[in-house]
């Protein structure tokens, strides 16, 4: 069996660290802390000895037998049955291998097998917690090599079928949200600033970060509008999500709204008692709180704690895209205004049609006014 060698490496940020390659071929690292050179060398030798000693010569079946004698002691009967079942599944998948070869890949492959078996996500998560608890016990008692807890392996199928939460809003719903803003702000905050962010998302299709950067005059890392031309447009700097600088035409409704505004430094940035907000956090929270205060339900589930999902700023952006598609614009024209890299994102997540009967029933259950369909 190949011996694991631990090397000392000096880094600018962390100082001296230990690096080695485990038996699965994965590179590992550990911070040494502030020590003298002699102490660092002693720690390196101890770590190298531990890595080469731990788990050597012991098979997985032998480890399981010891776990049944020692780890099971003190567990509830139900927990013992769950652990025994999990260990049997793990052994059936990987066989009787040398414990020194245990790696995060074994756990990830086990997770994939559970998903392929069609088990519910909650069952998969609880089973992975069970096997990880056993592994951690083995590491603590030097029966298994040190294994980092692997991140959840997301399947490509899960990413493809993931759907965005929310829907477009009606004009009446947005009016209710605007009316609720003064009720959810703090003392000294400017309600008009948050209302302008709602209108900027609805009429220009801005994201939250775009609202934070919107100005009338050009500036560094800012988006600005040009109205004194035949075809008014907004210039997005390279700080936007796509990382590109581009000019996007404005709709007539957006131009009319912008021309009605006073001369201000930031058009849609939140402002408090001490001036303009430095980040987007407060703006997003105020608008989300206004959506909940106005009882505008966008999804029956998916909110905090698995409860209902209320209207947010991004739902105003969805309203912008939906209204443009309904007006007769081509998908390419709308995609230019929403700045989506892929038209499938636009059609799949932003172009909703009509209202869902389930949504209306859920609205009745949580006490929401009926959703009105506006032209």
Q: Which of 311, 321, 365 is nearest to 173 (CA)?
A: 311
pLDDT tens digit sequence for 263-287 = 999 999 999 888 999 889 999 999 9
Point out the least confidently predicted range of 71-85, 118-132, 134-148, 355-369: 355-369
For the chain, the domain total comes to: 3
User: What is the residue-wise DSSP string for 10-66?
Assistant: EETTTEEEEEEE-TTS-EEEEE--S--HHHHHHHHHHHHHHHHHTTTT-BHHHHHHH
Residues 124 and 242 in one domain: no
Residues 48 and 67 in one domain: no
- Is residue 191 in some structural domain? yes
Mean pLDDT to the nearest integer, 158-185: 80
Q: Residue 40's domain spans which residues?
A: 7-53
Predicted confidence at residue 39, as pLDDT, reads: 82
Predicted confidence at residue 267, as pLDDT, reads: 94
Point out the least confidently predicted range of 197-206, 226-235, 301-310: 301-310
How many Cβ atoms from other residues are within 10 Å of residue 332's Cβ? Answer: 9
DSSP 100: G
Predicted confidence at residue 142, as pLDDT, reads: 77
Residues 345 and 238 in one domain: yes
- Is residue 374 in some structural domain? no
Predicted confidence at residue 78, as pLDDT, reads: 86
Per-residue pLDDT at 13 exceeds 80: no
Q: How much is the mean pLDDT over the chain? A: 82
pLDDT tens digit sequence for 306-361 = 578 889 999 999 999 988 988 888 888 898 999 988 877 777 777 553 334 334 43
pTM: predicted TM-score of the whole model, two decimal places: 0.54
- Please give the span between the terminal C-alpha atoms of the chain, in angstroms, as a whole number: 73
Distance CA 187, CA 273 (A): 8
Predicted confidence at residue 143, as pLDDT, reads: 82
DSSP 148: P
Predicted confidence at residue 206, as pLDDT, reads: 94
DSSP 98: B
Per-residue pLDDT at 138 exceeds 80: yes
| Domain end residue (candidates: 161, 190, 212) | 161
Residues 254 and 351 in one domain: yes
142 Rama sector, left if φ>0, alpha if ψ -120 to 50, beta otherwise: left
Mean pLDDT to the nearest integer, 82-99: 92
Predicted confidence at residue 291, as pLDDT, reads: 94
| Domain end residue (candidates: 143, 161, 179) | 161
Predicted confidence at residue 354, as pLDDT, reads: 34
Name which residue leads in pLDDT, 358 or 125: 125
Predicted confidence at residue 27, as pLDDT, reads: 78
Per-residue pLDDT at 193 exceeds 60: yes
363 — pLDDT class (breaks 50, 70, 90)? very low
Percent of the chain with pLDDT over 90: 39
Contact 117, 89 (CB under 8 A): no
Residues 195 and 336 in one domain: yes
Residues 199 and 154 in one domain: no
200 — pLDDT class (breaks 50, 70, 90)? very high
Predicted confidence at residue 360, as pLDDT, reads: 41
Which residues touch 156 (CB under 8 Å, ≥6 apart)?
none
DSSP 151: P
Predicted confidence at residue 305, as pLDDT, reads: 58
- Is residue 147 in some structural domain? yes
- Is residue 142 in some structural domain? yes
Distance CA 125, CA 121 (A): 6
| Domain end residue (candidates: 161, 179, 204) | 161
Give the position of tokens 């769950």: 82
130 — pLDDT class (breaks 50, 70, 90)? very high
Q: Which of 92, 96, 75, 86 is nearest to 135 (CA)?
A: 86
């Amino acid at each position: 069996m190949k011996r694991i060698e631990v090397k000392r490496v000096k880094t600018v940020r962390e100082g001296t660290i230990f690096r080695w390659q485990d038996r699965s071929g994965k590179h590992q690292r550990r911070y040494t802390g502030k020590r003298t050179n002699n102490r660092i060398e002693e720690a390196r030798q101890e770590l190298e000895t531990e890595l080469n000693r731990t788990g050597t010569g012991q098979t997985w079946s032998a480890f399981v037998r010891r776990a049944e004698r020692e780890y099971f002691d003190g567990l509830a009967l139900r927990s013992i049955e769950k652990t025994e079942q999990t260990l049997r599944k793990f052994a059936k998948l990987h066989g009787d291998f040398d414990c020194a070869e245990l790696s995060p890949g074994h756990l990830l492959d086990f997770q994939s097998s559970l998903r392929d078996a069609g088990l519910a996500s909650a069952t998969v998560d609880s089973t992975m917690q069970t096997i990880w608890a056993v592994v951690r016990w083995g590491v603590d008692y030097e029966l298994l090599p040190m294994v980092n807890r692997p991140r959840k392996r997301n399947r490509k199928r899960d990413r493809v079928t993931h759907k965005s939460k929310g829907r477009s809003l009606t004009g009446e719903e947005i009016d209710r949200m605007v009316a609720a803003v003064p009720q959810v702000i703090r003392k000294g905050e400017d309600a008009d600033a948050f209302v302008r962010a709602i209108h900027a998302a609805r009429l220009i299709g801005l994201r939250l970060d775009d609202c934070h950067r919107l100005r009338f005059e050009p500036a560094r890392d800012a988006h600005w509008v040009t109205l004194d031309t035949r075809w008014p447009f907004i210039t997005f700097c390279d700080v936007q999500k796509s990382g590109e600088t581009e000019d996007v035409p404005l709709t007539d409704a957006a131009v009319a709204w912008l021309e009605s505004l006073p001369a201000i430094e930031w058009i849609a940035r939140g402002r408090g008692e001490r001036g303009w907000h430095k980040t987007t956090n407060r703006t997003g929270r105020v608008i989300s709180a206004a959506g909940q205060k106005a009882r505008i339900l966008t999804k029956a589930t998916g909110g905090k704690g698995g409860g209902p999902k209320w209207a947010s700023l991004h739902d105003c952006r969805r309203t912008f895209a939906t209204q443009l598609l309904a007006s007769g614009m081509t998908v390419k024209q709308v995609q230019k205004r929403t700045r989506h890299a892929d038209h499938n994102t636009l059609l799949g997540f932003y172009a909703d049609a009509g209202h869902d009967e389930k949504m209306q029933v859920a609205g009745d259950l949580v006490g929401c006014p009926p959703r009105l369909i506006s032209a």
